[in-house]
Amino acid sequence: MTLHPLPEWEIPEQTAQIARASFPKGNMYMKMYDELGVLYQDLEFAALFPTRCGQSAMSPGKLALITVMQFAEGLSDRQTADAVRSRIDWKYALGLELTDSGFDCSVLSEFRTRLCEYELTNKLLDLMLEKFQEKKLIKHRSKQRTDSTQVVAAIRQVNRLELVGETLRAALNEIAIIEPEWLKAIISDEWFERYSWRFDNYRLPKNKYALRAGVEGTISQAVRRFDLRRTRYFGLAKTHLQQIATACAMNLSRFFAWSNHLTPAHTRTSSFARLRVHAA
């Protein structure tokens, strides 16, 4: 394959007109393009297509963005190829004509294989973070950690060890819903301060609970919203790619929520914790 890289892409006039008429308030992908511009450029992935004669390669910058969008919605390769063909907001973000017929779904699998073979998987996240730093959406750090594969493996191990604790907390919560008199009688402030840590995952100083809550919220979002506990592929390299793409999808989702000033959900208060308030 031969790559003819383009520095950036622009939205065709007809695509922009119809997309804005269809989404007058915009949506996640339209806002992404309007506020962040082009996330991935072809030259940043030029190594995937060594110069040689043959069929013209598809834009790797667009394929990289399509991969992130695919994981943002949990789509299969076939569903993703259909979305590129049929969805106006996707054509807007990708700078495609409305008449663009898209590509065969096997192109996505080939692109992932090239990313893994040339060890460019981390570029998906690194380039997105650079764009966020450029727009002053996140602070610059001296070192970025992108080895999420090992982190998820550690999370799974901790999850196994905490099954007994989760069962205990669930049982106590069920008892608290009933609010028996004998239980309310022993729930004093002193008792709660002495024993409440037993019902938490870890015993941490109070000033670190906010950090823990943020980490657990991120893990929960990855697991519940983006299905991170299940791997789509065989092999560590492609599993790592899935987790990098999932991290990018989470960043995109959070950017949209921040940009639209969406109110974060409040932390759920368990029945056991509410029982303490009633007893006091």
Residue from 118, 154, 86, 115 nearest 248 by CA: 115
Residue from 76, 78, 80, 88 nearest 33 by CA: 88
For 165, list phi and psi in degrees, rounded to 5. Answer: -65, -40
Query: Model pTM?
Result: 0.70
> Contacts from 78-87 at CB under 8 Å and sequence distance 24+?
78/105, 80/105, 80/108, 81/105, 81/107, 81/108
Q: Which residues on adjacent β-strands are paired with residue 56?
A: 2
Structure token pair of residue 57? 């390669």
- pLDDT the model gives residue 144: 42
Residue 132 CB burial class (10 angstroms; 0-12, 13-18, ≥19): middle
Location of structure tokens 């495609």: 96
Longest pairwise C-alpha distance within the chain: 82
- pLDDT the model gives residue 169: 60
Q: Are 116 and 238 within 8 A, CB to CB?
A: yes
The CB density around residue 193, as the number of other CB atoms within 10 Å, is 9
Instruction: Enumerate the domain spans of the chain.
Output: 13-120, 148-279
Q: Are 252 and 263 within 8 A, CB to CB?
A: no
Q: Which residues on adjacent β-strands are paired with residue 2?
A: 56
∠ Cα 104 121 60 (to 5°): 40
Cα 27–chain centre separation: 17
Please tell me whether residue 55 adopts helix, strand or coil conformation.
Answer: coil
- pLDDT the model gives residue 171: 61
- pLDDT the model gives residue 233: 86
DSSP state of 264: P
- pLDDT the model gives residue 34: 93
Structure token pair of residue 270? 């368990």
d(CA 251, CA 259): 12
- pLDDT the model gives residue 117: 93
pLDDT tens for each residue of the chain, 280 residues long: 556 667 778 899 999 999 999 999 889 999 999 999 999 998 899 888 776 656 667 889 999 999 999 999 999 999 999 999 999 999 999 999 999 999 999 999 999 999 999 999 999 999 999 999 898 887 665 444 444 644 444 444 445 545 555 555 666 566 555 555 665 665 666 655 665 555 554 444 555 555 556 666 777 788 888 888 788 888 889 989 998 999 899 888 888 888 877 776 666 666 666 666 555 5
